[in-house]
Structure 1
Amino acid sequence: MATHKPAELTRTTEDAHGGTAAGWRVAAASALGLACGPSVLTVMSFGAFIKPLDREFGWGVPAIAAAASVLSITIMIISPVQGLLVDRFGGRRVVLWSSPFFGLSLMAMYFLPGSLSVYYVAWIVIPVCGLGLWPVSYLRLTAGWFDRRLGLALGVANSGIGVGTVLVPILTATLIGAFGWRAAFLGLGVVALLAFPVAFFLLAEPSPRTTDVQVSGDTLRVAATRRPFWLVLAAFLLLGAIGSSIIVHQIPLMQDAGISQNIANLVPVALGLALIVARIATGWLLDRFTVSVVMSFHLLGGVVAVLLFAAGPNVATALIAAALAGLLIGAEFDVLSYLIPRYFGRLSFGKIYGVTFAMFQVGGAIAASAVSISRDSYGTYTPAMLTLAFVCMVCTGLFMNLGPYRHQVVRP
């Protein structure tokens, strides 16, 4: 049975700045945890290991890069499991369980033998060991402390991924250059272990004694009977396709346009910096405008970005496109974390987030391959980028049809 009360209005004990000291501490700690979590340490470092592994084992770039699909599929499978565990045991406990295993799994890559099968299995084991460290654990914790400033708090927490997106590729390249790829995995494992003391000393579960935020709303089964649930799933399937296509293909796309490899490798920094800005700015905007308005604004920027990529960018337009793409990609999970409490309540936050995140991964896995096939078929990225512009517009329509919030905060 759902415990949702239609049109329920929730009043919190947030202070004049829209939160409590404990709540903001949790948001900041969540940012630190996400900066050294698997969303960054696996995804953003992956590409740096491709050439070193190829030089040592001779597996070939396509075979090594295929592990990225293994990683995406594994994340897709485990995301609903994580959501269930977080709803049942709380985010802090799940983070504490996972962080030692995740750090050790990265360190174990030091001993990787010359077997491609073992390499693929490793990219199943690593995300499973990091089961509790994907964003929903931290975001559910943060959301439990806030209502009136929920958007900004989630933006602060999510900014950790943006910071990691900028710093981890630099750290990984430096470690590989100085000590080799095996030692680089050891270094990343050490960084991963930082999540444990952060969680132990700084994360705290909200309770009726510390906050008046109501843990009520729809079960996953009831949410699935509502139209907004399916609109959200469809929208995030498309957002996964857009973001993955840009992140995976932006460098070869720029090289096709005649931009040198050294410069092309630096352009994604603009995306990473925009992603940091987007995390905070989107959170601030969500406290003032509806999800539909905020995402329509970002998706318009996404249309401009992919059209610039379709035209064959020069350095200046590539930087503009990367920045606009970073604003869109940076907004996605602020928006998901915010819309769940507003449309479905907080009761099944983890489960709904996990299912939606799985759909996001499906979109990413399909689109990254589809864009590669399109590039090989047409000899250019232009048709794929034009298709993504259309996808952005369809996604805008999905968000515009979500309707009004069902759980609205009372503003003072």
Structure 2
Amino acid sequence: MSVSSEVSELSAAPARLPAPARRRDEGPLYGRTFWLTYLGNTAFTIAMALMYRYADFVLYLGGTEWNVGLIVGLGMVGSLAMRLFQGYGIDHFGARRVWLWSNTLFVLSLLAHLTVSDPRGPWIFVLRILYATSLAGVFGSSITSISRRLPLERTAEVIGTLGTSGFIGMAVGPMLGDYFCGHEPITRTDLVWMFTVAAALGTISLFCAELATRHDTRRPSHRRSPMLWVLKRYHPGGVMFLAVVLGFGLVIPTTFLPTFIEARAIENTGTFWVAYAGTAFMARLATRSFPQRYGVRPMILIGLASLAVSLLLYLPVRTQWALVLPGVFAGISHAVLFPSVTAQGATSFPSRYRGMGTSVMLAMLDTGMFVGAPVVGRAVEVSQGAGLPPYTTTFVSLSIGVMLTGVCYALFARRR
């Protein structure tokens, strides 16, 4: 799964909640369980963001941008599979077990990468699929676990507060990545340290999860309607395509930023991610009441415009500090587009199927990553082979595609 999509999943909160219902008095809202979860998620997202340097690993092994895109894209199969299993798995086994199992898989998949020597062999694809599966499992089960102990009227507040751990991780993780891989030449030792530190952070997260859920009890499962029947009846429509487009947009910073800065003779990505995370954090706070005041559609248009602009702002980048501008607009896009698209899609489902609706929208985001990563990788190589500036051609093409999507959405939304 996309790392940014997982951070978004943490920081997104329902746009509207029902009137205060019964309380679930299971301790203070910001007590021991919350802060253990917060610490665990912070460690986890730092480890996850450290893997933004995954492309350096593939290139070190002798791969190309095409191999990077193919590995990351096919890895999303694991995330999509977990989306389908997650609801049943949490109901059947309990959020605690799924959380701990997924976190353990995360650590093991990172350490197993140290045995990879061929970027084209099946082993690296298997490990990437397991890695993406673990991401989806950890975030989905952790949110379920913490939300089940909250009073309904405070759920948005607490989940939103928990989501700030994701932005901390997005700022700190890439700095660690720069420390290990932000120089030439990158050595095997650098990569061993990168995966080992990420696994250590994952172990801290696992320890926190075990303590936070030690007293959890598994809820009884309920009869579930067939998923295909629900999707056919409450299909969210064209907004699903917007989630795919967002997935394409997230591929650039989370997968191809290291290869882009290498082509521009820039060593570090830290300035981009500090600008990205800081802007996303502030934009999320500044726009949290916009959907209620102005509706979701203007938010989607603002997000698409910011995404298109961010892609064009990569073109003049020649120094590390010039990465700030695309980082700012990419952060705005992330902050406003993800919750808006997810909310519009999920709210087409009735409240009893709202969880499934959210999972469907996140699965479409993963589909965008699944398709987008190999497409972007191939576009870079084809452009280079044709004698065109590879990243300029790719980014301009993607920006035009996002603009056309925005125009089509604006026309469609007006007719409705």
State the distance in 1 between where 2:178 and 2:112 align.
19
State the distance in 2 between where 1:98 and 1:163 align.
22
Aligned equivalent of 1:406? none
Match of 1:235 among 229, 234, 242: 242
User: What letter matches 2:85 in structure 1?
Assistant: V
- Contact 2:89–2:98 (CA under 8 A) maintained in structure 1: yes
Residue 167 in structure 1 maps to residue 176 in structure 2:
no
Aligned equivalent of 1:347? 352
User: What letter matches 1:160 in structure 2?
Assistant: S
Match of 1:139 among 140, 143, 149: 143
Aligned equivalent of 1:105? 109
Aligned equivalent of 2:18? 10
State the distance in 2 between where 1:206 and 1:282 align.
37
Classify the secondary structure of the residue corresponding to 1:241. helix
State the distance in 2 between where 1:31 and 1:345 align.
30
Judged with a 3 Å threshold, the aligned counterparts in structure 2 of structure 1 residues 306 and 358 are, in CA distance, closer, same or farther, namely same
Aligned equivalent of 1:390? 404
Q: CA deviation at 1:191?
A: 0.8
Judged with a 3 Å threshold, the aligned counterparts in structure 2 of structure 1 residues 387 and 343 are, in CA distance, closer, same or farther, namely closer
What does 1:354-393 correspond to in 2, within 5 Å?
Answer: 354-375=359-380, 376=383, 379=389, 380-381=392-393, 382-393=396-407
- Contact 2:110–2:131 (CA under 8 A) maintained in structure 1: yes
State the distance in 1 between where 2:357 and 2:409 align.
19
User: What letter matches 1:356 in structure 2?
Assistant: M
Aligned equivalent of 2:98? 94
Aligned equivalent of 1:329? 334
State the distance in 2 between where 1:387 and 1:206 align.
48
Classify the secondary structure of the residue corresponding to 1:86. helix
User: What letter matches 1:12 in structure 2?
Assistant: P
State the distance in 1 between where 2:342 and 2:353 align.
12
What does 1:42-81 correspond to in 2, within 5 Å?
Answer: 42=48, 44-51=49-56, 54-55=59-60, 57-59=61-63, 62-63=66-67, 66-81=70-85
State the distance in 2 between where 1:98 and 1:10 align.
32
User: What letter matches 1:10 in structure 2?
Assistant: P
Q: CA deviation at 1:245?
A: 3.8
Aligned equivalent of 2:212? 202
Aligned equivalent of 1:409? none
- Contact 2:304–2:337 (CA under 8 A) maintained in structure 1: no
Unaligned residue ranges in structure 1 (runs of 5+): 1-7, 209-214, 404-412
Q: CA deviation at 1:187?
A: 1.9
Residue 185 in structure 1 maps to residue 191 in structure 2:
no
State the distance in 2 between where 1:276 and 1:205 align.
31
Aligned equivalent of 1:407? none
Q: Say what the alpha-carbon RMSD is for the aligned residues.
A: 4.4
User: What letter matches 1:70 in structure 2?
Assistant: L
1:235-262 CA-to-partner distances (Å, cap 9, x unmatched) read 2122212222454455666787xx6514
- Contact 1:162–1:330 (CA under 8 A) maintained in structure 2: no
User: What letter matches 1:96 in structure 2?
Assistant: L
Judged with a 3 Å threshold, the aligned counterparts in structure 2 of structure 1 residues 352 and 54 are, in CA distance, closer, same or farther, namely same
Judged with a 3 Å threshold, the aligned counterparts in structure 2 of structure 1 residues 206 and 402 are, in CA distance, closer, same or farther, namely farther
Q: CA deviation at 1:346?
A: 4.9
What does 1:233-272 correspond to in 2, within 5 Å?
Answer: 233-245=240-252, 247-249=254-256, 260-262=265-267, 266-272=271-277
Q: CA deviation at 1:368?
A: 3.5
Q: Give the TM-score of the pair, scaled to structure 1.
A: 0.72
1:32-66 CA-to-partner distances (Å, cap 9, x unmatched) read 444344x7635x334535445654x5455643553
Judged with a 3 Å threshold, the aligned counterparts in structure 2 of structure 1 residues 335 and 146 are, in CA distance, closer, same or farther, namely farther
- Contact 2:34–2:212 (CA under 8 A) maintained in structure 1: no
- Contact 2:246–2:338 (CA under 8 A) maintained in structure 1: no
Q: CA deviation at 1:95?
A: 0.8
- Contact 1:172–1:184 (CA under 8 A) maintained in structure 2: yes
User: What letter matches 2:207 in structure 1?
Assistant: P
User: What letter matches 1:100 in structure 2?
Assistant: T
Equivalent pairs counted in the alignment come to 379
Unaligned residue ranges in structure 2 (runs of 5+): 1-15
Judged with a 3 Å threshold, the aligned counterparts in structure 2 of structure 1 residues 183 and 267 are, in CA distance, closer, same or farther, namely closer
Q: Give the TM-score of the pair, scaled to structure 2.
A: 0.71
User: What letter matches 2:190 in structure 1?
Assistant: G
Farther-moved stretch of structure 1 (197-206 vs 361-370): 197-206
Farther-moved stretch of structure 1 (113-122 vs 169-178): 169-178
Judged with a 3 Å threshold, the aligned counterparts in structure 2 of structure 1 residues 190 and 221 are, in CA distance, closer, same or farther, namely same
